[in-house]
Chains A and B, each alone.
Chain A
Amino acid sequence: MIGAVAAQTVEIPDRRAVAESRLRKASTMTLRTAPAALSSAEAASLIRRIAETQDRGAFAALFAYYFPRVKAYMLRVGASPASAEEFAQEALLRVWRKADSFDPRAAAASTWIFVIARNLRIDRLRGERNIDGLESDPSEEPDAPQSGEAIAILNERRSRLHAALAALPAEQARIIELFYFEEHPHSEIARMLGVPLGTVKSRVRLAVQRLRAELEDLGS
C-alpha cells in the first residue's frame, strides 16, 4: 500500500507531493484489524488532537476503531456494501472536519459519532434534509479544558450505559436494537413477537420505560 502511494508521487506537483508525504506518514499507522476497545477519554483526546493540530496519527487511531463500526451500522440500516463503505468514509471525514465542534462534556465520542452517522443515514438514504437537527452550536459552548474528574465521569457514564443495555431482558433489548437498526421497527417487532401491530406499541412503551429507569442520570 505504501509502495503504491510512493510510486504515484513521482510525477505529481509539489503541493501534492507534500500532501502525499503526509499521507505516507499517516499510512504507517493504519491498523489491519479493528481494535476491540477505545475508552471514552482516549477517543475524546484523539478528537481534541484532530481539532487542535490536525493530527493524522490521532485520526488514524479513531478511524481504525470507528470506520468498521460505522460501516457495520450502515449495513444494518440497509446500505449496500459499496454504499456502506462510502458512507463510513463520509462519516469519518465529517469527524475530521467537525472535530472542533465536539464537546466532551456534552456527549461521549461514541454518541457524537453515532449522531454524525445517523444524520448521514437520514441525508443519504432518504434524500436531503434541510433541518439540521440538534447538533450543538460550538459558539454557544463554554471553553474549558477537560479535567481528570470530567474524564472519570465520562468513563463511568459509558460503562453504566453498557451495563444498562446488558441488564435489559432479552426481548426488550432486542426491541431497542430493532429501533436503532431497522427501517420499520414496528412491523419487525410485531413479526418477532408474533403479536399484532397494535400490541407492539405497549410492548415498546414498556421497553422504553424500563430502559429509561436504567438510564436515569445518564443524560447530560
Chain B
Amino acid sequence: MTNPGHAPEDLILRHATGALDPAFSLLIETHLAMSSASRRLHAQFEALGGALLEELAPADVDPAAWNRTLRALDADGEPAVDRPKRKAAHPKLPEGFALPAPLASVDIHHWRWIAPGVRSASIALPKHGASRAFLLEIAPDMTVPRHGHVGDEATCVLRGGFRDRDAHFGPGDVAQVDEEVEHDIVIDAGDPCLCLIAMEGRTRPSSWFGRLYQKFRDI
C-alpha cells in the first residue's frame, strides 16, 4: 500500500531502539500500522536489538538479586483486572474513515480553523516529550509553500495525498523534511488530505505545515 521509497527507515530504527519521544513514536506506530513492509523492517531492527543484548558483556550482579526477584514474584497479588479502557475522544472525521489503531487510542482535540481550506486538531500526549503531534487536513488542489530544516518534522499521510516535486505521497507514506529548499507542494484533487504530523520543539515550527500552523494559529 505504501511507497517503499517513503518509509522512514531512520525513524523506524530509532523507534525499535526506544529513542523516539511520544509524538514521533505515535507517528511511527501509525505508519507501521499502515505498512507491512515497514513492520517487517521494524521486526528486523528489534531482532537486532535482541542480538545486541546477547552480545553485551554480562554485568556483575548482586548475589542477592535472585532471591530478591523471587520475593517480588511472591509478593505479587492476583493479577490486576484490566479496567475497561475509556473510549478516546476524537474530532469529527470523514464518513467511512477509521483512524489507524495507534491513533484511535489517543485523545485528539477538536478541529481548529487554521486558514481557508486548512484545519488542525492537536493530539494529547504525555508531557515529557519535546515534540508534539497533530492532525492536519488540507482541502484538495491546494498549493502550500514548504521550507524545512533537517529532522524537524515528519508527516504521515492518513487519507488523500500530495505531490512534493517529483514524489507523490499517499496513505501510509511518511514525508520527512531533509533540505532547506523552499518549494511548493500540491494536494491531490478529490478528497482533502488528512495527515498526522510530529514536530520537534514547542515554540518555533519551521517548515511548511509548521509555518502555516504558526502563522494562523493565533488568529
Contact = CB atoms under 8 A, between A and B. Distances in A.
A128 to B, nearest CB: 6
Contact of B26 (A72, A131, A201): A131
A129 B126 contact: yes
B40 A219 contact: yes
A130 interface: yes
A77 B55 CA distance: 15
B29 A134 contact: yes
Contacts of B102: 131
A212 B65 contact: no
Contacts of A1: 63-64, 67
Given A205-B9, A208-B10, A85 B178 contact: no
Nearest to A18: B74
A84 B42 CA distance: 26
Interface of B: 9-10, 13-14, 16-19, 21-22, 25-26, 29, 32, 39-44, 46-74, 76, 79, 102, 105-106, 126-128, 150-151, 178
Given A56-B70, A72-B56, A75-B59, A97 B76 contact: yes
Contact of B58 (A69, A177, A208): A69
Given A71-B59, A133-B25, A180 B52 contact: yes
A51 interface: no
Interface residues of A, number: 79
Interface string A77-102: 10000001100110011001100000
Nearest to A209: B9
Contact of A71 (B16, B29, B61): B61
B70 A23 contact: yes
Given A23-B74, A93-B69, A96-B73, A110 B59 contact: no
A184 B60 CA distance: 26
Interface string A127-163: 1111101100000000000000000000001100110
23 contacts: A19-B74, A22-B74, A23-B71, A27-B66, A63-B69, A67-B69, A68-B61, A71-B61, A89-B65, A110-B47, A110-B50, A111-B43, A115-B46, A122-B18, A129-B126, A133-B29, A180-B52, A201-B10, A201-B151, A209-B9, A212-B44, A215-B44, A215-B48
A73 B53 CA distance: 7
Interface of A: 1, 5, 16, 19, 22-23, 26-27, 30, 32, 34, 56, 60, 63, 67-73, 75-77, 84-85, 88-89, 92-93, 96-97, 107-115, 117-119, 121-122, 126-131, 133-134, 157-158, 161-162, 164-165, 176-177, 179-181, 183, 185, 198, 201, 204-205, 208-209, 211-212, 215, 218-220
B25 A131 contact: yes
Given A110-B50, A162-B51, A129 B22 contact: yes
A219 B53 contact: no
Contact of B53 (A97, A114, A157): A114
Complex A-B, nearest 5 residue pairs according to Cβ-Cβ distance, in ascending order: A110-B50, A68-B58, A111-B50, A219-B40, A34-B58
Nearest to A211: B48
A164 B44 CA distance: 11
